[in-house]
A and B are shown apart, each in its own frame.
Chain A
Amino acid sequence: AQKVTQAQTEISVVEKEDVTLDCVYETRDTTYYLFWYKQPPSGELVFLIRRNSFDEQNEISGRYSWNFQKSTSSFNFTITASQVVDSAVYFCALSEGGFNKFYFGSGTKLNVKP
């Protein structure tokens, strides 16, 4: 079974629109970490955020915000007022028990058109 599911394969929006990328995870561990990574066309994965299972506070960083809900096993990512530079593939990932073994979702390709 997939531990991390990103149901949206590809999303296209027009610049300045808000967009939410969904992530649903599955784990039996009580201690786990959730991540979002961005992979621009250049290929290098860039870390965006980490959340541990004991911290359900939502986080905002500029135009980016993350909504972590343990009740629904979701860790969604919202980009407000999207820009063309946000075009990339975004990956959600899970690490269980504090190990450097990440389970990545299949990624959501975001296309932001001018």
Chain B
Amino acid sequence: KAGVTQTPRYLIKTRGQQVTLSCSPISGHRSVSWYQQTPGQGLQFLFEYFSETQRNKGNFPGRFSGRQFSNSRSEMNVSTLELGDSALYLCASSWTSGGAFTGELFFGEGSRLTVL
């Protein structure tokens, strides 16, 4: 069974640019969550999508957005990049039973973003 796939794995951008990261969940998983991991702040929840709808959102500015497609694949976008956006962005998928929480998140390897 293929795991969670994130692309690109590494990318370098400059301040003011925007970036789009992609996540393909495990087949059958309809919930996709995004987390930002930095040395200073640790792992922080960005948002969660289920059936193309954002269900939960973390405390990040509006520059961070996401969406989910009908095939459960998800993208997140960061506009007007700042130096502080440099981080490992992790996507996680989970199986849900009728939309209900089942608990286990399966993580991808992440997309490492460097903002210069």
Chain A residues with a Cβ under 8 A of chain B: 33, 35, 37, 42-47, 50, 52, 91, 93, 95, 98-107
How far in angstroms is the closest Cβ of chain A from B109? 5
B104 touches A103 (CB 8 A): no
Chain A CB count within 10 A is highest, among B42, B58, B92, for B42
Query: Pick the contact of B103 from A33, A44, A46, A103 — CB < 8 Å?
Result: A33
In the assembled complex, the Cα of A110 lies from the Cα of B105 at a distance in Å of 22
Which residues of chain A have C-beta atoms less than 8 A from B101's C-beta? 33, 95, 98-100
Do A47 and B104 contact each other (CB < 8 Å), given the known contacts A105-B42, A106-B42?
Answer: yes
Describe B's contact surface by its main secondary structure: strand
A45 touches B90 (CB 8 A): yes
Do A43 and B109 contact each other (CB < 8 Å), given the known contacts A99-B56, A100-B94, A105-B42?
Answer: yes
In the assembled complex, the Cα of A6 lies from the Cα of B42 at a distance in Å of 12
Chain B: residues with Cβ within 8 Å of the partner, total of 26
In the assembled complex, the Cα of A35 lies from the Cα of B90 at a distance in Å of 17
In the assembled complex, the Cα of A98 lies from the Cα of B58 at a distance in Å of 16
Chain A CB count within 10 A is highest, among B43, B45, B90, B110, for B43
Interface of chain B residues 43 through 95 with chain A (CB within 8 A): 43-45, 48, 50, 55-56, 58, 88, 90, 92, 94
Which residues of chain B have C-beta atoms less than 8 A from A106's C-beta? 42
How far in angstroms is the closest Cβ of chain B from A50? 5
